[in-house]
Amino acid sequence: MNLQNTWATHQISNQIDELKNYNLFETDQVLQEILARYGSQEQQVLSKFAERVGSSEYYDYAELANRHTPELHNFDARGRRIDYLEFHPAWHQWMRLNRQYGVHAYPFLKTHATSIWVDWAARFFLSGQVECGNLCPNAMTLGSIPLIQHESELWAKIGSKLLSTEYDERDIPISQKKSIWLGMGMTEKQGGSDVRANETFAQPISASGRGEEYLITGHKWFFSAPMSDAHLVVAKTEQDGLACFYVPRWLDDGTKNNIHIQRLKDKVGNRSNSSSEVEFKAAWGIMIGEAGRGIPTIIEMANYTRLTCSVGSSAMLRQALVQCIAYTRQRKAFGKHLAEQPLMQAVLVDLALETEAAMQLSFHLAHCYEVESELAQAWKRIMTPAAKFWICKRTVELAGEAMEVFGGNGYVDTGIMARIFKEAPVNTIWEGSGNVMCLDVLRAIQRDRDSIELLFKSFAEIAVDHPVLQNELQSLFKLFSSLNSDDMQFMARNLVSRLVILAQAILLKQYAPEFVSNAFIETRYSAFHGRVVGIVDFRSVDVDKLLQRALILDT
């Protein structure tokens, strides 16, 4: 008797691993079309980047960085305050790769390119499909650069280090570093999104105002990426109200600034990245921006980081979709591959339509950041918070659906589906919750009524031969024009959701193949859409074409 065979109770079959070792760019027809449309010359570079991001090596780095989370060391062995953050080497691998490809600063490195923001978005989108946590310091550094550029003396001192593509992980004074990261501190315990309730106080050392030195005392309840070399911090002043300050981690004399990390946040997702609570005990800083204009100054940064939220959530959607299609093409149930089962196909095509719509909107918004026109400005002002609201919300729901495609395998905490599921909510909250985004859309419209009229006029030019879109456009414009302020706030989620779906439909009709745009419009304007994923009328979709378009991959 063969004892080995006696104990072999079963053979492992029909178990499918998550997809790794594939080129995220070469398998994405939609991304390739978008880049070609906006005149990108970066396809070869992006393909090389995507090959590295999609390698087993970097998938493993992502898993390790999220399993071995940052550790805070407040004191050294002799009791000296150090507030040092220790990261797993896998985190540094991701930070180094993204720095090398300019994810943190590409639009400011390639100022003469024809598609600088679209090319940046492609980098952010590709990286965010595999490891999302490191995108936080990349996003904040990106958003801080325009603010620092307004401060000529400070920019001369640190600008080259912000733009550098060489990664420097050392925790030492900025003057000794090759490159630096910037973070942000706005939120306080008592205020949350209500930054005007902030109590952190800045006292001028001598003169007051822009470019002057202050000592800052107070706290921040959420201090993003505390290992960053400096932070932009909102604090109030005695005479000038709220202002924004550049606060470095180290001082020029080689001593640590008086920023004390109290603890790291134990977050649901975004585990690889550190978030913290801090106290300022007369911490040294420089006022940037105009005195009394702290919120508008930091909101300029937020306009960029809100765009990163939309692109980052689109990346999660894309990765969830890719994993679902690859899995169902190989996994069998009831005698057929899951991808051949009609009900599963309904789920997959719905995921595919949602993902392409998110991509088209996110990349078009990125394009508007590089275009000087009134219409582009309207897109930026109105659709940046609107897209951030809708795409991030939808990603939370669809990440759960994608996890369900994997069944029990999707619910275990050892694969990328669970990580995406836990990661997705951070973008709905960071840089302003859903309600804050909807209110920002309303403010943008109320401040400049011409902008919504210009936006709707551009929509009308595309919707001219489509009755469904024409009816929705007229109905929505009438609501925006007729509701009073309170009623508009009460209906804000309804209005903004409809606005985003309409914008997505317009972009798809303008740029995507008819079988995509028609399927999106027919499904999104059906009576039942949105209640659960997969409520799709088979007569309105070309399943084979949609799923072939979604993933160019032989499995």
Confidence of residue 182 (pLDDT cuts 50, 70, 90): very high
E strand or H helix at 220, and its extent? Answer: strand 213-224
Query: Which tens digits make up the pLDDT trace of 434-487?
Result: 999 999 999 999 999 999 999 999 999 999 999 999 999 999 999 998 889 899
Residue 123: predicted pLDDT:
98
Q: Is the dihedral of CA 384, 385, 390, 395 positive or negative?
A: positive
State pTM to two decimals. 0.96
Furthest-apart CA atoms within the chain: distance in Å:
91
Tens of pLDDT, residue by residue over 380-420, are 999 999 999 999 999 999 999 999 999 999 999 988 999 99
Which residues of the chain are in CATH 2.40.110.20 domains? Answer: 182-293
User: How many angstroms separate the CA atoms of 405 and 320, rounded?
Assistant: 10
φ, ψ of residue 339 in degrees (nearest 5): -65, -10
CATH number for the 182-293 domain, one of 2.40.110.20, 2.70.70.10, 3.40.50.2300, 3.30.360.10? 2.40.110.20
* More confident: 344 or 195: 344
Tokens of 233: 């911090």
Q: Provide the 3-class DSSP secondary structure of residue 454.
A: helix
DSSP state of 275: E
The CATH code of the domain at 297-550 is 1.20.140.10
Query: With contact defined as beta carbons under 8 Å apart, do 163 and 109 qualify?
Result: yes
Could you tell me where in the chain the CATH 1.20.140.10 domains are found? 297-550
